[in-house]
């Protein structure tokens, strides 16, 4: 596991937590809410990078952009590199090692952006309990229609980087996550993509200072999913 540097200062009087960082909107909003918890100190971000591609697993976001997000949030980024293909047992072993290291460093909790998937929540809790840590879910139980609209209203800006064409229209790949996007979603698609319909890269929102200047690149289909490349842009944001 590798870590990027940060100017963040840890408060020793609060529980130390890392946030499972996917690069997407829900991760940012979970961080935004978790930073309001009086007993919790977010001291790092944890992400998985598919080594052969150099991109965030499943989201398909370039590693350089995740590093830019961490720098803007003033938090160290802890990276777990996974092979492709990666079996479930291999993944659990790699993540277990990362969590053991975190626990030794004084981290007691991991924050997740999950909203309503009960089996996933239970799985995360079981895995962390093995190393004496607990899971925190700042978004849990929030109505996803309300949550999606709240994020947009509060200035969260993101692009769709990956979608499952069996669950969401291909035409939404690379689209901005905004009010128009929500209007175009079929009724059966969750507004936050909680069922794996789509994933995002967040470039603007609470705590992202400055916003990440990016542009939308090529869209390709690979492994049954549709990916849109998001790349750094040198143009100044308005």
Give residue-wise pLDDT tens across range 5-44.
654 455 667 899 999 999 999 999 999 999 999 899 999 9
Residues 220 and 226: their CA atoms lie apart, in Å, by 6
Q: Which residues pair with 231 in a beta bridge?
A: 215
- Only one residue has tokens 């093995």, namely 130
Tell me the residue ranges of DSSP E strands in the chain.
2-3, 15-20, 40-50, 55-56, 77-82, 107-111, 134-136, 157-163, 198-204, 214-222, 225-232
Q: What is the pLDDT of residue 14?
A: 83
Average pLDDT, the chain: 92
Question: Quick one: CA dihedral 53, 58, 60, 66, positive or negative?
Answer: negative
Q: What is the pLDDT of residue 26?
A: 98
Residues 69 and 148: their CA atoms lie apart, in Å, by 20
- Only one residue has tokens 């529980």, namely 15
Please report which confidence band the pLDDT of residue 52 belongs to, taking 50, 70 and 90 as the band edges: confident
- Only one residue has tokens 């609060």, namely 14
Range 2-136: architecture per CATH: 3-Layer(aba) Sandwich (3.40)
The tens digit of pLDDT for each residue in 56-85 reads 998 999 999 999 999 999 999 999 999 888
Domain boundaries, the chain: 2-136, 144-232
Q: Would you say residue 233 has pLDDT above 90?
A: no
């Amino acid at each position: 596991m590798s870590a990027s540097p940060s100017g963040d200062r840890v408060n020793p009087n609060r529980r130390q937590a890392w946030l499972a960082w996917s690069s997407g909107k829900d991760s940012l909003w979970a961080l935004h809410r978790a930073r309001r918890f009086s007993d919790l100190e977010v001291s790092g971000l944890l992400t998985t990078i598919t080594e052969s591609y150099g991109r965030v697993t499943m989201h398909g976001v370039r590693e350089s952009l995740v590093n830019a997000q961490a720098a803007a949030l003033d938090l160290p980024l802890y990276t777990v590199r996974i092979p492709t293909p990666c079996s479930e047992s291999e993944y659990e072993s790699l993540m277990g090692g990362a969590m053991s290291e975190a626990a030794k460093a004084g981290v007691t909790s991991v924050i997740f952006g999950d909203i309503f998937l009960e089996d996933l929540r239970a799985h995360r809790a079981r895995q962390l309990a093995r190393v004496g840590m607990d899971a925190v879910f700042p978004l849990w139980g929030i109505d996803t229609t309300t949550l999606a609209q709240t994020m947009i209203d509060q200035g969260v800006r993101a692009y769709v980087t990956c979608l499952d064409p069996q669950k969401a229209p291909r035409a939404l790949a690379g689209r901005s996550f905004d009010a128009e996007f929500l209007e175009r979603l079929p009724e059966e698609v969750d507004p936050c993509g909680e069922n794996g319909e789509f994933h995002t890269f967040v470039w603007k929102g609470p705590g992202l200072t400055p916003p990440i200047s990016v542009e939308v690149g090529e869209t390709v289909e690979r492994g049954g999913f549709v990916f849109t490349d998001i790349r750094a842009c040198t143009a100044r944001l308005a």
